[in-house]
Each structure stands twice: as structure tokens, then as C-alpha cells.
Amino acid sequence: MLPLRRLLAALVFTALPAFAQYTPTAGKNAPDTAYEARADHQNGSVRLEKSDGPVPRDGHGNARGNQYDLAVDGAFKGQTVLIIDQTGNTLVNTRAALEEKGLASVVYPNGKTPTPAELKEALSKSCELWLISNGDARLSDAHLAIIKAFFDAGHGVYIWGDNDPYYLDANRIASALVPGLRMEGDLPAGQIVGVADGRSGAPGVRKGHLVTTGVEHLYEGVTIATIQFTPKDGRTAALYAGSPQSAVRAPALPDGFTPLLYGSASNLVSVAYEKDGKRLVMDGGFTRLAVSWDDAGTARYVKNAAAWLVHAERFKETVATK
């Protein structure tokens, strides 16, 4: 007969919002129960068991331990994230964080843009695509068509940009996938924000989204761009330093979009898209990947976004470790 604590853990797993790759705290910024991760050395899996006492916290106030991420460690072993890195900033921490969830990564580094044929072949072996954008156009229309076909098939896409001008190809991909989606601007940041109160533009991370699981405090980046949903018509002054705040910093969200992060300047920094079986994340602060890594919450946020973009709810056992 199972001890009570192990029985409770088994019962928790039967109630997860998606398959066993998600932890019992999925969708909760602040977990209300403490868990311990137990490795099963016979099959390489990880089980989470309830434990006594309060949830441990790190120095920034987020729950401490990978058991409070969206996905359990090793959940997507055998899957690959394809990264087109146009900037050349370090991805050492990012790739290590992905590996914790079983996600290998293949990187086309700055200056090594794949040909359309190479991109198509690489995507056939990948569960999601990331672009870390620079300020010049390096992707052709043929690249964009291949990425759109990948996205339309339900595979996740993560579009990273940063302060002007580091979003040119980011915007070209965004427009191809969801017409009207783009980013613009250059606003100072450098702050750690908490959980937003739900008002449009209120600084902070979204409460209750799977990507913000276990994230109560998040570093916003250094200087960042702002997500927009209208065609660009010249320079939008309110999105740049020294300009007064404006409604365009917290634009109305079209159907399918959910804000993930409003920055300290009340600007929409990161947004999730889920509609018609497709998933996308767009983020205007790629500096979090290289500068002050995990100053607060970055590692968890990145792991959660990657786990969400795997889209296991759609692809089920084809992307999930048993």
C-alpha cells in the first residue's frame, strides 16, 4: 500500500490541466503547496510529492526549485528547439535552462542564416522555432513562407526583439504569421515587476497564465520595445524614452492575444497568442537572455514559454516523455 504522501502525489497528477509533463502548480504564479522532486532512476522520470512546510522562496520572492516550473524536468526529452540567433549575445544560460526540460537546442548563430532549404529541413526535426532579431533583414520571403507553414501546422514560434532597431525580422515574421502584430520603440527598463493587478498597462506579469507559472517577480530587461497591433505610420513618439505615456503603450488586444508582461513604463513587453490551434509568444526584451540572467524569474519564464510552445495539448504523446 502506498504511503499517504505518495498517494496524494499520485492523485494530484490525475488532475493536471494537461498531461503529466505539467506540474501540479501549472497556471499558478504563487504555488499554495510545497512539493519535492523525486527522480525515478529506473525509468528516468521525475515525480512530485507533496511535502510539509511552506513553499521555499528564492532571493526575489519566487518559489525556489524546478518543481514549481510549468513542466517537470525532462518532460520533453528528445525534442528540439530551433533558434535563429541574429544578435550573437550569449545563449549559454538559455540553452541550459531548456535542457532541464529535456529540450535540446540547435542554434544558427549570428552571421549564419540558414538557406530556405536548410531551414525547412531543420524545422522538420524541431518542435518549435525561436528568432532573436537584429536590426537588418536577413530572412527572405521564402524563409517567411516556411515559418508560416510551420506555425500554421500548430508548432510554436517565439519571436524575440529589443529596443529600436532590433526587431526588423521579428516584425516581418510577426506580420506574416498574425497580420498587424509588431513591436516598436526604445524605453528604459531595468526594473523587477510583480504580478499585475489586471488593469491594462498595470506593470507586472499576467496572473494565471501557464507561461507565468511560479513567476511572481520578473526582471523586465534593460531597454525594451513595445508590442503593437497597428500598422506603423512613422515614429510613435510615446514608445521612446523621454516621451509621455500614451494608450499605445498598452494597446487593445485583438482576439487570441493575452498579455504576459507589462513593463515599468506601462508598456506591453510580451504577449502570448493562442487561436485556431496555433501558439506564439512575442517579446520586446531579449536582453533578459544575456544581461542580468535570472535577476528575477528569467530562467523560469523562458522554460515555461518553451514548454507552452511545445503545444503538447495538441501533439500529445508525439512530443511528451511518458
Mean pLDDT of 29-44: 82
Q: How many CB atoms are located within 10 Å of the residue 263 CB?
A: 28
pLDDT of residue 319: 79
Q: Copy the grid coordinates of residue 160.
A: 524575440
As a whole number, mean pLDDT of residues 189-198 equals 95
Find the mean pLDDT for residues 227-234. Answer: 90
User: Would you say residue 322 has pLDDT above 70?
Assistant: no
pLDDT at res. 19: 54
pLDDT confidence bin for 230, thresholds 50/70/90: confident
Which of 66, 53, 72 shows the shortest CA–CA distance to 12? 72
Residue 127 is given by DSSP the state: S
Of 44, 68, 92, at which residue does a domain stop? 68
| In a shared domain, residues 280 and 160 | yes
Length of the chain: 322
The x, y and z cell numbers of residue 125, run together, are: 526535426
Give CA separation, 179 vs 182, 209, 281, 296, in Å: 9, 24, 14, 33
Instruction: Please report, for the chain, how many H helices and E strands are present, in that order.
Output: 7, 14
Shared domain for 277 and 307, answered yes or no, is yes
- Beta strands 45-50 and 257-262 are unpaired
What is d(CA 87, CA 20) in angstroms, rounded to the nearest whole number? 36
CATH number of the domain encompassing residue 178: 3.40.50.880
Q: Identify whether 74 is part of a domain.
A: no
pLDDT of residue 17 exceeding 50, the answer is no
Instruction: List, in order, residues 6 or more apart from 281 with CB less than 8 Å away.
Output: 156, 157, 158, 159, 211, 260, 270, 271, 272, 273, 305, 308, 309
Residue 81's beta-bridge partner residues? 105, 128
Banded pLDDT at 7 (limits 50, 70, 90): very low
Domain tally, the chain: 2
Q: Are residues 287 and 311 in the same domain?
A: yes
Single out the residue in 48, 68, 88 at which a domain terminates: 68
Q: Is residue 73 part of a domain?
A: no
Asked if pLDDT for residue 246 goes beyond 50, the answer is yes
Does residue 26 sit in the same domain as residue 96? no
Whether residues 119 and 26 fall in one domain? no
By residue range, what is the domain housing residue 133?
79-318
The verdict on 224 and 173 lying in the same domain is yes
The whole-number average pLDDT for the span 292-300 is 92
Take residue 151 and report the three cell numbers written for it.
506555425
